[in-house]
Amino acid sequence: MINTVVLTGRLTRDVDLRYTQNGAAVGTFTLAVDRRFTNSNGDREADFVNCVIWRKSAENFANFVHKGSLVGIEGRIQTRNYENKQGQRVYVTEVVVENFTLLEPRSQNGGNGQGQSSNGNHAPSENPFGTPKTSGQSTPNNGKKNDNSNDPFANSGDQIDISDDDLPF
């Protein structure tokens, strides 16, 4: 069985970050995802998808995003139910987020990391902690933007010929 969801959209509100009785962080939010087509009036409609994210990822997500942030999420669909105070059975379908990626530069989304994902990857020229470098800090690669001296294929312009006998499949 496969239960995988990949969505790109904007947050409709800030993440609602709470903690369980055991101290586990849980964040809930709604993601507005545009449909690929327009309706009869020529307007593009959106789906509003309820999402939940857990533990350290929830804390990180809540710290880096806000209402309107463009994000990509990966996860799975989950359906659960509970009985409300009126005794009615309520069914909830939501996406449980397992991975996320921030899709806007800091200047557009109020200080969030450009291209950062939940596994800590970030653009090489960017400080992931949002603080400017001071004069006492060293610059990687001796100030060069891209040091490709160890990459034998960088900027060579030569084509690489590989025969079918060299491939493992």
Residue 58 amino acid letter:
A
Among 108, 140, 136, which residue's Cα sits nearest to residue 127?
140
Q: Given this model, what pLDDT does residue 135 score? A: 41
Q: Is residue 63 part of a domain?
A: yes
Q: Is residue 12 part of a domain?
A: yes
Q: Is residue 16 part of a domain?
A: yes
Contact call for residues 26 and 61 (beta carbons, < 8 A): no
pLDDT in tens, 62-86: 999 999 999 999 999 999 999 999 9
What separation in angstroms does the CA of 8 have from each of 40, 70, 137, 161, 167?
Answer: 24, 7, 36, 38, 35
Our count of domains for the chain comes to 1
Neighbours of 25 (CB within 10 A): 18
Neighbours of 65 (CB within 10 A): 24
Q: Given this model, what pLDDT does residue 156 score? A: 58
Q: Given this model, what pLDDT does residue 39 score? A: 84
pLDDT in tens, 89-105: 999 999 999 999 999 87
CATH number of the CATH domain containing 21: 2.40.50.140
Q: Given this model, what pLDDT does residue 75 score? A: 95
Q: Given this model, what pLDDT does residue 122 score? A: 38
Of 4 and 145, more confident: 4
What separation in angstroms does the CA of 115 have from each of 54, 82, 122, 154?
Answer: 21, 37, 6, 23
Q: Give the residue carrying structure tokens 């209402």.
A: 67
Alpha carbon distance 28, 50 (integer Å): 7
Q: Given this model, what pLDDT does residue 123 score? A: 40
pTM above 0.85, yes or no: no
Q: Given this model, what pLDDT does residue 104 score? A: 83
pLDDT in tens, 137-155: 444 444 445 555 566 556 5
Alpha carbon distance 152, 90 (integer Å): 60
- Mapped onto helix, strand or coil, the DSSP state of residue 166 is helix
Q: Given this model, what pLDDT does residue 160 score? A: 61
Structural domain including 74 reads 5-36+44-101
Q: Is residue 76 part of a domain?
A: yes
Q: Is residue 20 part of a domain?
A: yes
pLDDT in tens, 7-64: 999 999 999 999 999 999 999 999 999 998 888 888 888 999 999 999 999 999 999 9
Q: Is residue 91 part of a domain?
A: yes
Q: Is residue 130 part of a domain?
A: no
